[in-house]
Amino acid sequence: MIITLYQNKSDITEVSKSLTTIHTYNNGTLRDGTSIVDPTIFVEAENIPEDLVNYMYIPKFNRYYFVYTIDNVRKNLWSITGHVDVLHSFRTDILASTQLIARQEKKRNNYLVDKSLPITAKRNFKCIEFGDQFIENSYYILTTMGGVAE
């Protein structure tokens, strides 16, 4: 079984990972009792750069995996346990799909009320004067009864 080890510096939630190839082995074997989702692979190698490897690809399964552990079973035999990265493995179909987007980093529907938006208690105030001013009048109004006679 072929297995390619990578260094992944992308966030685990990133769909398309940015990978740096470390090494490809042709002698991988699937440990009994493990699955395609959480496989453990035995690799015969003199050394595996544990400080670099955190990701792998198994062509036979056509899946990419996060590497959980790398254990030295014995001299020149390594055990690599991983968990499938469903995002990168199925990225072609994911990216081709059309989804209803709830939240997005760059596209915004400005007038949907977003109650999660951090709004501070600090308020901004403006007081703007406008219009004419009421003026003092020099007249008084006397109201009397008597509207008939002229």
Partner 1 sequence: MSKFKIILTNPAVCAMLNYQSRSIWKTKCVTRIFEIDYTGTNAIVVRYPHTQEYTYTVDNVQYTGQYTVYSYYLIGKNITVNSFKYKPYVQHVNTYGISSSSFDYNAISATGKQQAQNNIVFDYNWLIDTSDYVELNINRSDAEILATWVPCDTMQSVPETFNTSARNCIFGIPVRLFSTNTYAITPVIFYALHQTYKSAYVLRDYTSDSTYDEYRFSASPLEQIPSIASDLRYLADTNAISGALMDNFLFERNGNVKYDLSLSPEQNYITEWDLIQKSAQTYFDKGKPFDIFGSIISTSSTSGVFWNPTHYNQTYNSSIRNAYTPPAQFGTMDSLGAGFPSFSFGSPYIPYENVLFLDIPVSDLIDESNNYVQTGKLPSDAIYVETDDDGVPKQWKNTDPDPEGEDGSQNISVDDMELPSPTRGALTAGACRYYLMTKEAMETFLHWFWYENHGLEDVFDNFWTNMYGNLKETILSYQYFPCTTSALGTISSTQENILLGRLVSTQTASRLNGLPSTILLGSINIKNAYKHFNTFVDWEGYTNFQIYLPFAGIVKLPTKSVQNATLKVYYCVDVGTGQMNYIIKSYPNGGENGFVVLETTTPIGETIPISLMDDMENKTKLAQTAVQVVGSTIGLAASVATGNIAGAAIATGGLVSSAANASNPTNANVMIRTAEHSGQRMISGVGQIANEAMQYQSDTPSAVGQITGLMGKWSPLKCYLIIDYPTVDNKSNGYNRHVGYLNYKPYKLSSLTGFTTCVKPQIDFTNTAPLLKEIEELYQLMESGIIL
Closest approach, Cβ 61 to partner 1, in A, equals 9
Residue 33 is a binding residue for partner 1 (CB under 8 A)? no
Neighbours of 34 (CB within 10 A): 13
CA-CA distances (angstroms) from residue 103 to 44, 74, 108, 109, 148? 45, 48, 8, 9, 77
Span 73-132, contacts to partner 1 by CB under 8 A: 84, 86-87, 89-90, 92-114, 116-120, 122-132
Would you say 86 and 66 are in contact if contact means Cβ atoms under 8 Å apart?
A: no
Minimal CA–CA distance to 86: which of 66, 59, 58, 60?
A: 66
CB of residue 138 vs partner 1: minimum separation in angstroms? 6
Tokens linked to 90: 């199925």
Residue placing its CB nearer to partner 1 in the complex, 46 or 145: 145
The correct pick among 62, 69, 72, 76 for binding partner 1 (CB under 8 A) is: 62
What is the smallest separation between the CB atom of 127 and partner 1, expressed in angstroms? 5
Q: Give the up-direction half-sphere exposure of residue 91: CA atoms within 13 A in the CB hemisphere.
A: 13
Contact mark string toward partner 1, 3..32, x via CB under 8 A = -------xx-xxxx----------------
